[in-house]
Chain A
Amino acid sequence: MAVMRMGYMHVRVTDLAEAKDHYANTVGLYQTLEQDGRVYYKGWDEWDHHSVVIEEGGVGYVKCGFKCEKPEDVSDIETKAIAYGYPVVRMVAGENPEVGDGIRVTLPTGHQIEFYSQMTAWGLEVGTHNPDAFPRHMVGIGAPRLDHALLWVDDVAGIEKFFMDCVGMWATERVQTSLDDDAHTIATWLTIGESNHDIALLEAPENKIHHFAFEMRGWNDILHAADIFSMDDVPIDIGPTRHGITRGTTIYFFDPAGNRNETFSGGYRCFRDRPTVVWTPDQLGKAIFYHSRELNDRFLTVAT
């Protein structure tokens, strides 16, 4: 398996001080570096140097990175992406602080996706020698790790094919216009390992980021996170609730710049021979928000 996981998400924020307060004190990430107007964070259950990068000025997506197991895996994706016709450039070690050599692919939507195989090791907050179950002085919601992102794209099928053919992902769930084989794909949830999704794509008129998500340790922590959001006056978009798609429990909320974040937990294990789940548009409400069974007026209209 070439790619292991989404390694980092890099977004813009309008006010760095407010965003730092959010990601450190509310989300509970650990700051590992501040340099050139960018701040780097990791969750307590992550061992690489960073998984979230915020950059002052504007709002929205800058890029994300997927970590591969070996340098050869990066070269393999490079060859396939070039053959697929997407622009690829090489990036050298240090171009992203603490990240090794890699490649940057620009999707036709303009989204930049990086692939790399090395990042400076930082270590788990609980260590690896006789570790405790979680850090004794967790801050805020204590998000353990970055999990996935949902991108807004204008060509779901084309970009899904890139992630499948060049990156080795497969679709665990899809929303499509009908149950027929030639149906149009409206949204897709793509995974590389056994989690429900590492990246999802949703058809939209603009190419943006809908949200990026942190994996929590269960429903209790999701509910606790919602309590913290009320204490910290974080705008909650929806939740705590469950997604029909993936069965994951969730809260959507916004950072101080308006980027949508998610706390996500649950879902089922996915093996590559698992059949893809299909949803049709008439059931979209239940698919997205399993309890209210209707979309709010933000899910399909609000992104950065």
Chain B
Amino acid sequence: MPKLTVEPGDVTVDLLDDETILEGLYRNGFAYRIGCRRGGCAICKVDLLQGEVIYNRPVADNVLTESEQTEGTCLTCRAVAVTDVRIALREDNLRRVSSLMSLYAATRTG
């Protein structure tokens, strides 16, 4: 189970295997600026500071270019962490929308 740490705020959540970073944060009761959730609009980009992600579904190269990928841009609605990762939101803050979901996120099995 990879750990995800988000800046600013240094918030850490556990990600399920095969879960995207976006899905993991929302499952843990957090929100941030996102759009289509389907890899099309590029609004959910963040900086990948540490760790490794993969894209297990196609991503349009005009949304996330190869050079962006090598320079550490991560499209959070499609990126799946394969190691522990640390990301930094761009001109945005993580908002906790449900402390209950944060509290009980770990009890989910699926």
Question: Which residue in B35, B37, B59 is a CB contact (below 8 Å) of A14?
Answer: B59
B90 within 8 A of A: no
Q: Which residues of B contact A60 (CB under 8 A)?
A: 40, 60, 62
Q: Which residues of A contact B62 (CB under 8 A)?
A: 58-60
- Find the residue from A14, A58, A237 having the highest chain B CB count within 10 A: A14
Minimal Cβ-Cβ distance residue in B for A18: B57
**How far does the Cβ of A19 sit from chain B's closest Cβ, in whole Å?**
10
A180 within 8 A of B: no
Q: Which residues of A contact B57 (CB under 8 A)?
A: 14-15
B101 within 8 A of A: no
Minimal Cβ-Cβ distance residue in B for A301: B43
A176 to B37 Cα, complex, angstroms: 31
**How far does the Cβ of B110 sit from chain A's closest Cβ, in whole Å?**
14
Q: What is the interface of chain B mostly: helix, strand, loop, or mixed?
A: loop
A250 within 8 A of B: no
B82 within 8 A of A: no
Say yes or no: B60 contacts A254, CB within 8 Å: no
Question: Which residue in B33, B37, B58, B61 is a CB contact (below 8 Å) of A254?
Answer: B37
A108 within 8 A of B: no
A191 to B56 Cα, complex, angstroms: 42
Q: Which residues of B contact A57 (CB under 8 A)?
A: 60
- What 0/1 pattern do residues 17 to 35 of B give for CB contact below 8 A with A? 0000000000000000101
Q: Which residues of B contact A254 (CB under 8 A)?
A: 35-38, 40
A297 to B43 Cα, complex, angstroms: 10
Q: A235-B36, A258-B35 are in contact. Are A302 and B58 (CB under 8 A)?
A: no
Q: Which residues of B contact A256 (CB under 8 A)?
A: 38
A14 to B37 Cα, complex, angstroms: 13
Size range of the chain B interface in the assembly: 10 to 19
Q: Which residues of B contact A12 (CB under 8 A)?
A: 60
Question: Which residue in B41, B59, B61 is a CB contact (below 8 Å) of A302?
Answer: B41
B63 within 8 A of A: yes
- What 0/1 pattern do residues 51 to 77 of B give for CB contact below 8 A with A? 000000111111100000000000000
Say yes or no: A301 contacts B60, CB within 8 Å: no
Q: A58-B60, A59-B63 are in contact. Are A303 and B33 (CB under 8 A)?
A: no
Say yes or no: B40 contacts A258, CB within 8 Å: yes
Minimal Cβ-Cβ distance residue in A for B63: A59
Say yes or no: A14 contacts B43, CB within 8 Å: no
Say yes or no: A257 contacts B35, CB within 8 Å: no
A302 to B62 Cα, complex, angstroms: 14
Say yes or no: B40 contacts A304, CB within 8 Å: yes
Q: Which residues of B contact A304 (CB under 8 A)?
A: 36, 40-41
**How far does the Cβ of B95 sit from chain A's closest Cβ, in whole Å?**
11
Say yes or no: B35 contacts A302, CB within 8 Å: yes
A255 within 8 A of B: yes
A98 to B8 Cα, complex, angstroms: 54
Q: Which residues of B contact A302 (CB under 8 A)?
A: 35-36, 41, 43
Minimal Cβ-Cβ distance residue in B for A235: B37
22 A-B contacts (beta carbon < 8 Å): A14-B57, A14-B59, A15-B57, A15-B58, A57-B60, A59-B40, A60-B40, A235-B37, A254-B35, A254-B37, A255-B38, A258-B36, A258-B37, A258-B39, A259-B40, A298-B35, A298-B43, A301-B35, A301-B43, A302-B36, A302-B41, A304-B41
Residues of A at the B interface (CB closer than 8 Å) are 12, 14-15, 57-60, 235, 237, 254-260, 297-298, 301-304
Query: Closest 7 A-B residue pairs measured CB to CB?
Result: A258-B40, A258-B36, A302-B35, A258-B38, A254-B36, A235-B37, A59-B40
